[in-house]
Structure 1
């Protein structure tokens, strides 16, 4: 078959799937944004980035929809050039619905089967919006923009012949009439490459060498922000540092915003750190920013206790990867996490908002590593048995596309 992948940050979720399909003899091509700098062996073409998003005051609730359809227009025009200039007409199109990229592709390729990656469907209740009262809007009509934001997601699903979601919980965010189109298969975790390594070691920017077995607390996120509970974790640090004078805290994450609102000024990291300014032991907290993937892997292999927090939102790859590497995960008791982490079996669950409980749980994990050895083993077993890339997820993904 001829298969076209569409994703503004390709390869993203298709990192393993696209090359695997190419190896099976299919002609695989990708269409991605001109700003994308990700490396891939897949032959790729680029569409021009849309103009600046319309000002909210001009577009009102249609701001997001206008931005998505503008992007979709660029994608559609680029796709027509693939057809007209290169003669590439796909049998299957597989795109992410989150940025509107698939909206006009059926017009360009009416005979192609359209598959969409259905990652998340925004809602006014029970999901990310309004979950954390500290950052919730007081506007009685705050749900209106959320419903408006659903428009391009719903349209993408209506057009799709089939859809894929990585977890049951994420699939269940979609309305029942759209949920029926969704197959559940995770992107997969390469458990052959991501495994415990008792010889792992990592050198901090200050020159200190950390080894597996050292008292190291880790926290990883794309950006330090409320969606991933950065404020809760940082507020728990003073008690942990006081109770464990030998602990080193390593935090990976940028200063930008991936999800949700931006801070009124500065960065979220600056705001949250200002709350604990002057606390003893902060010199043992190491902010690394974003790090190369191999460094992140090493840190997970060294970690004695790994904190993972998220509001009800998309589950991070890092949670599953850390478990595959045998990390002792202390995670938030939120719905997407509870699909993977079983309290007391393969990790520990803590109420998202309970700062004292986080301090106690992480302190205990740092103080008594031997007591939680069985959880580490069970964590890896969970990933191997349910999310293994080569033996489980990738064969299912291939069947989904080829079928």
Structure 2
């Protein structure tokens, strides 16, 4: 088949799937944004990115922006068909930025598959989760509907959809569930594995860590409330006071990825660091920024306890990667995390907002590490048995594209 992947930051969620399909003899191409310079495992065509759109209302700006990006992608698609005769059998796109909105009009004969990352809701998910950041009810509901409109439009016209977790699939309206197959992107458990000889160094500070050291790890793409940075930082003073040998390794950039930016010009990182600065031994708190993947793995391999928090939102790859490495994971007791962690068996859960609870659980994990070896072993086993990239997830993803891409009579049953 001719298979076209569509993602503004390709390969995005498809770094393994696209080359796997190509290796099976399919002709695989990717349509991506012109400023995306990430290495691609397949042939790439680029579309011109839209200019920033200025509207009188910030509340509805999202839909206008994704619609414009969809138009740019459609124009590139039209040129692919008109000038080069390119007609895919299957389009597999991430609809989050609007790129798949109008592709049906260019290639009506193609099967359209979409990656269903999340359906926004005005209540019950991230929008109204954290009272510390409660917004005007009207504004919040309007902006959330504007964020979800193009996703509803896309899945309505799609032939099939893929969601990485059951929690994420369940955010979609009931009338769309029959289109959805649940299968995670996969975890490379061969690479993400325990290493008793791992060493993680911070040369500029002259410190290094090995398995067995009192190390707390915390990973976000960006240090922001959506991923519980504020709760984590508020828990640290009591932990470091109780454990004078403990160190904290924090990975994440200064800006924001999902939630709103601070309104006072101070980054979320600095705001919540400043809140507890006077009660922390900052020589033991290491902000690492963004680090290479190999270093990131070594950091997880020396971790005694890994903290992961999130709003009811898209699950981070870092949670499953830390479990694959065999970390003792303490996660927020929120729906996406409960799907991965069985409390007391593969990790532990703490209420997202329970600062005292987080301090107590992290302190316990540091002081009694031998007690939690069974949880670490069970966490890795769960990743190997259910989420391994090569042995389970990737074969099922290939099957999804090859079957759903050939018509409704060949589609996988929704799960």
TM tier relative to shorter chain: over 0.9
2:27 alignment partner in structure 1: 27
1:108 alignment partner in structure 2: 106
2:293 alignment partner in structure 1: 293
3-state DSSP of counterpart to 2:13: helix
2:251 alignment partner in structure 1: 252
Identify unmatched segments of 5+ residues in structure 1. Answer: none
1:221 alignment partner in structure 2: 220
1:19-98 aligned at under 5 Å gives the runs 19-55=19-55, 58-59=56-57, 61-98=59-96
TM (norm. structure 2) is 0.95
Identify unmatched segments of 5+ residues in structure 2. Answer: 404-415
Q: Distance in 1 between matches of 2:50 and 2:77?
A: 15
Instruction: Give, in angstroms, the shift of residue 266 of structure 1.
Output: 1.7
Asked if 2 retains the 8 angstrom alpha-carbon contact of 1:54 and 1:66, the reply is no
Asked if 2 retains the 8 angstrom alpha-carbon contact of 1:245 and 1:281, the reply is no
1:3-402 aligned at under 5 Å gives the runs 3-55=3-55, 58-59=56-57, 61-204=59-202, 205-264=204-263, 265-402=265-402
3-state DSSP of counterpart to 2:278: coil
1:163-182 alpha-carbon deviations (Å, 9 max, x no partner):
00000110000000112211
Further displaced range: 189-198 or 218-227: 189-198
Aligned residues: 401
Further displaced range: 11-20 or 199-208: 199-208
Q: Distance in 2 between matches of 1:233 and 1:8?
A: 32
Q: Distance in 2 between matches of 1:163 and 1:288?
A: 37
Q: Distance in 2 between matches of 1:256 and 1:63?
A: 21
Q: Distance in 2 between matches of 1:197 and 1:32?
A: 37
TM (norm. structure 1) is 0.98
Instruction: Give, in angstroms, the shift of residue 142 of structure 1.
Output: 2.4
Asked if 1 retains the 8 angstrom alpha-carbon contact of 2:28 and 2:42, the reply is yes
Asked if 2 retains the 8 angstrom alpha-carbon contact of 1:347 and 1:376, the reply is yes
Instruction: Give, in angstroms, the shift of residue 54 of structure 1.
Output: 2.3
Q: Distance in 2 between matches of 1:124 and 1:285?
A: 37
Instruction: Give, in angstroms, the shift of residue 59 of structure 1.
Output: 4.6
Q: Distance in 2 between matches of 1:361 and 1:240?
A: 9
Task: Tell me: CA distance 1:261–1:141, structure 2 relative to 1, closer, same or farther (3 Å).
Answer: closer
1:262-293 alpha-carbon deviations (Å, 9 max, x no partner):
00112000100110122141210000001111
Instruction: Give, in angstroms, the shift of residue 61 of structure 1.
Output: 4.2
Asked if 2 retains the 8 angstrom alpha-carbon contact of 1:332 and 1:351, the reply is yes
Further displaced range: 36-45 or 251-260: 36-45
Instruction: Give, in angstroms, the shift of residue 37 of structure 1.
Output: 2.6
1:179-236 alpha-carbon deviations (Å, 9 max, x no partner):
2211100000011111111111011131211112211100000000000000000111
3-state DSSP of counterpart to 1:364: helix
1:70-100 alpha-carbon deviations (Å, 9 max, x no partner):
0000101111222223332110000001111
2:412 alignment partner in structure 1: none
